Amino acid sequence: MRGALALRLTLALGATLFLLVMLFALALDALATQSERDLREGRYAYILAELKQRVEAPLSLGLQVESLDYLQRLLEREAAGDPDILSIDLFNSSGDQLFTTDADDIRSAVPSSWLQDTQNLPPPESEAEGRQEAYWLAEERDGRVVGVALYNDFGLLVGGLALRHQVTDVGESLLDPATLRLLAIAAVATFFGGLGFWWLNRPLERQTEALIAAVKERLKAPEALVPPGPLDRDGLRLLEALQEAERRCAAATAEVEQIDGRS
């Protein structure tokens, strides 16, 4: 078959380029997902910081968190503002859940790890030193959690706020138009690669064709008919050596026939 070598090389190139763009798409998707998550968590941390201010303000008046019924509406309003928020929970220093926006939630206390993370946050006086330390982050089975600690005027921990939100997993948005665009680039590159391989292979193909014709038709002076190419040295040398052997054999045969005929 003509172009068999070019075809094989094109297939290998195509497979590699396909793999390349798929790995690029995966890496970019991972990067975008991570950046989106960072941005989203920054926003949720801001929302929690605002809520924290609103919860802590009445505490300085001597009120108990449990008595602030309007907080339920406040939490629900914030949670309703973003479809990715799964729930916002307000809990006391023992981990008992005081308010939550999760209608399906049947638990009365938040997980102990949340309480632990909240207790590990720095006290209010050192909070301003590092932004990262003002809230905690954790993995959840169906998303992630951002949390802040609540303090009273004396700097004592009175509870915490936790916001659970959905996350997009890497690979979920892999089959989108952007990946198709990358695949199209790979296809175009493969096409040009195929053209290039075919074009580069032409001298070899032409020379091979001419050599086949020269061998089969026993052409005389093949070097004049075979175009230059990669097989200049070996193909022509072999052809000439075979023709030389044939010439000698024919000459010897003629000589023997001549001897036979003469006598």
φ/ψ of 163, rounded to 5, equals -115, 120
Nearest to 101 by CA among 72, 60, 142, 131: 72
Specify the 3-state DSSP secondary structure of 68.
coil
Site string for another protein, 76-115 (x = CB under 8 A): ------x---------------------------------
Output the smallest distance, CB 249 to another protein, in A: 5
Q: In this structure, how many other beta carbons lie within 10 angstroms of the beta carbon of residue 107?
A: 10
In angstroms, rounded to a whole number, what is the distance separating the alpha carbons of residues 150 and 52?
7
Instruction: Find the part of the chain contacting another protein (CB under 8 A) among 17-25, 94-102, 137-145, 159-167.
Output: 17-25
Binding of residue 129 to another protein (CB under 8 A) = no
Output the smallest distance, CB 8 to another protein, in A: 5
Q: Per DSSP, what are the bridge partners of residue 148?
A: 161
- Exactly one of 39, 57, 63, 225 binds another protein (CB under 8 A); which one? 39
Which 8-state DSSP code applies to residue 122?
P
Site for another protein in 139-168 (CB under 8 A): none
- Exactly one of 68, 137, 185, 219 binds another protein (CB under 8 A); which one? 185
CB-side neighbour CA atoms (13 Å) of 172? 7
Kindly give the interhelix angle for 177-216 and 232-262, rounded to the nearest 10 degrees: 20
Instruction: Find the part of the chain contacting another protein (CB under 8 A) among 39-47, 87-95, 139-147, 219-227.
Output: 39-47
In angstroms, rounded to a whole number, what is the distance separating the alpha carbons of residues 45 and 50?
9
Instruction: Find the part of the chain contacting another protein (CB under 8 A) among 60-68, 99-107, 147-155, 212-220.
Output: 212-220
Output the smallest distance, CB 105 to another protein, in A: 24
Cβ closest to another protein, residue 63 vs residue 200: 200
Cβ closest to another protein, residue 8 vs residue 107: 8
